[in-house]
Amino acid sequence: MPKSLLIVESPTKAKTLQKYLGSEFLVESSMGHIIDLPKNELGVDLEQDFQPRYVTILGKAKVISALKKAAAGIRDIYLAPDPDREGEAIAWHIAEALGEKDHHFHRVLLLEITPKALKEALAQPVELNRARFEAQQARRVLDRLVGYQISPLLWQKVKTGLSAGRVQSVALRLVVDKERAIRAFVPEEYWSLAACLEGKKPPAFVANLLKKDNKNIKPGSAGEVEGILEALETAEFKVAKVEKKPQKRNPAPPFITSSLQMEASRKLRFPPSKTMRLAQRLYEGMEVGDEGPVGLITYMRTDSTRVSGEALDAVRGFIKTTYGDDYLPAKPNFYKSPKGAQEAHEAIRPTGVTRRPQDLKAHLRKEELALYDLIWRRFVASQMTPAVFQLTTVDVNAGPYLFRATASVLQFPGFTTLYQETREEEEQPAKLPPLKTGEILQLRDFDPQQHFTKPPARYTEASLIKELEVQGIGRPSTYATILTNLQDRLYVAKEKYGLRPTEMGMVVSDLLVENFPDVMDPKFTARMETDLDRIAAGEVPWQGVMRGFYGPFAQELTAAKTQMRRVKSVPTGIVCPECGGELHVRWGKNGEFIGCSAYPKCGYTGDLTRDAQGRIILASLAPAAPENQDEGPGKAPVARGKPAPTGITCPKCQKELLLRRGRLGEFLGCSGYPRCKFTQNFTRGPQGEIIPQSPEDEAAHPCPRAGCGGHLLKRRSRRGIFYGCSNYPQCQFTMNQPPLDQPCPQCQFPWLQKKGKKILCPRDECDYQTAVILDEKAKT
């Protein structure tokens, strides 16, 4: 029997640790949190000083029972969930579930999953940290108070199913404010003037107009440029100054959570949620050949750039051996962590610097390897010498005007041998010939260029994370969830790596700003994060922070119930093509669409799109498709917002069937609706033409459930196409693969089912199956 029990929150981590510990320890997993606030109610007792009412998460009763069984008869129990507030809460709840009567609990903080780190952590366990647990609990209660009390207001005033979040809504406001700035932006004209010059030796180079009479100049019109060109017709271009100076570029610090998410977004195009999911795998342990499961990186939720002395020694030795003394600084590089960082944590780094990315190519998937490569390179480069450039600046006088040319030449690559930040990769340095002060230059040509000032760029996922970090909104561990929620709830749309708020998102943000100015204030949200840090440090009681927040919030909540505007649609200023009324943006189950304000008298609907400035345009007014793609009988109509004609006759009333779009996709419906409610599934031919699914097709595949009498229908869900019984919901038979038109050799049922690598009879009463793939075409 094992002497001790180690409990973690992840099955993968448990597997890795069990390999390291052997039979002395039993390693079990809690599969994440075991208790939480209830889903269908507030779960916070406002009369009892915000006491949370936890319930066992669905499916976790068995996990708790298994943990109790594993803990029976074992005195020392080591709790090793992740070393952050969330992990502390999991450890605390596990200890409460198992009880202290027969057990002695030890908290184990694993910053990396390696045999050495595990041995050291078990030798020096700590007590459960109440303050850190209460900080997590305070965040959970705060988020519940905001989300569960504001969201119902949005259901009443805007649309059912909307949600608000304490940090999520502030992030939405940032995106909306940026969009408003873009729409309000008025471009201003300006001009640049470049002179292509030639010295005594090649190459020719370009110098840009900078000053006139020692004052900066920026021509605002073509007329101003023409005046400057006239003044320069007889001017002599003479080198006034040549300045050369070395310039060092220092390496970036090793990754913390936010910088990893930003750089993975820029370099790898990974959304933050994907980056954190992959990093979690690398941290918990990956199968690496004969080594078995190995934790490849340190803990990935950290805001500290600290690196342990042992890791510093290892990476410096690696740099010296691999790259030479020129690439190794005399002393280790140290970096300043963000304000309030938990210095007990380390930066994100490889657990073994000698485990190079190319050594893991056979063991990691492509995306896992790409992220590991990014982390490994950034860490090693952070301890290398700076890159050295020679910056050359040449000032050229031409009468009262001054032109300037600059060039940067790499003299020693330093850390750039291994790693360059994204912005550095985009630089294209110019080349300058050897020049001397007083040298007369030959003018080859002028290049005047018209420009217009550009509006602010939309946030990308990377730049929004940066803004959240700078303003102190949320914590790095929450950024991925925030961005995912904004997009999943259709408040924000991702377009070419830019984040644009939807009309729904703008409405929700405006209503929340109007009615909950404190909650939506970035500075207020940042102060709340500071308060949570103070709770974690044991400086203030968590209930006191709750009381300070809830008093003003409750007043705003009461006022909002009567004062919040009701917004069920947004006017567009576009005229309805059918009745002349104004079109509005409305919200359905499939997202935004255009609908007539005269509804139900006018049932016009359409899709919307936007121009470069974000202004709404009716999709039907967008550039048309080529003429040879016209819709009609035998062509390929597509259901947009408005039902599309098909030229197919309804078998019930003889009117035309229309191609419609519902919650689960396209279908055929009678144009005589609601008098005729005939609907029909269809497939598309090789040219996209519509082929109705006939009753004979349906009858050829009877439902395999005994006594049902239904037949299979091809259906669509959010996850794709599946096949289900026509008698749903009385019969709930479904399958993912199309039926095979081959009778069962054993019971003569008219079709067979493909399941994995087997083909079997779908009837429960028949046990026929074969591993041979029948050479029959599946019916679609």
Contact in structure between 28 and 14 (CB atoms under 8 Å): yes
Strand order in the sheet with 570-575: 570-575, 582-588, 591-596, 605-606
Q: Hey, is 465 helix, strand or coil?
A: helix
Distance CA 640, CA 624 (A): 14
Name the token pair of 729: 């919901």
Residues annotated as catalytic are: 299
> Virtual CA dihedral for 213, 214, 218, 224, nearest 10 degrees?
0
- Residues forming a β-bridge with 238: 397, 440
Distance CA 129, CA 420 (A): 40
Contact in structure between 348 and 255 (CB atoms under 8 Å): yes
CA angle in degrees (0–180, nearest 5) for 438-442-443:
120
In single-letter form, the type of residue at position 13 comes to: K
Q: At what angle do helices 542-563 and 130-157 cross, to 10 degrees?
A: 0
Q: Hey, is 137 helix, strand or coil?
A: helix
Distance CA 641, CA 585 (A): 12
Name the token pair of 555: 């007043």
Name the token pair of 32: 């994440």
Burial of 380 (0-12, 13-18, 19+ CB in 10 A): buried
Residue with tokens 């779960």: 43
Question: Among residues 301, 357, 304, which one has the least CA distance to residue 110?
Answer: 301
Distance CA 177, CA 183 (A): 10
The rounded radius of gyration (Å) of the Cα atoms in the chain is 33
Question: Helix, strand, coil: what percent of the chain each, to 5?
Answer: 35, 25, 40
Characterize the bridge pairing of strands 51-52 and 35-36.
unpaired
Q: At what angle do helices 522-536 and 130-157 cross, to 10 degrees?
A: 150
Distance CA 162, CA 272 (A): 23
DSSP 169-208: HHHHHHHHHHHHHHHH----EEEEEEEEEE-SSSPPEEEE
Distance CA 279, CA 348 (A): 10
Strands (E), 356-477: 387-398, 401-412, 440-452
Name the token pair of 683: 């497939």
Distance CA 466, CA 453 (A): 24
CA atoms within 13 A on the CB side of 640: 19
CA atoms within 13 A on the CB side of 702: 11
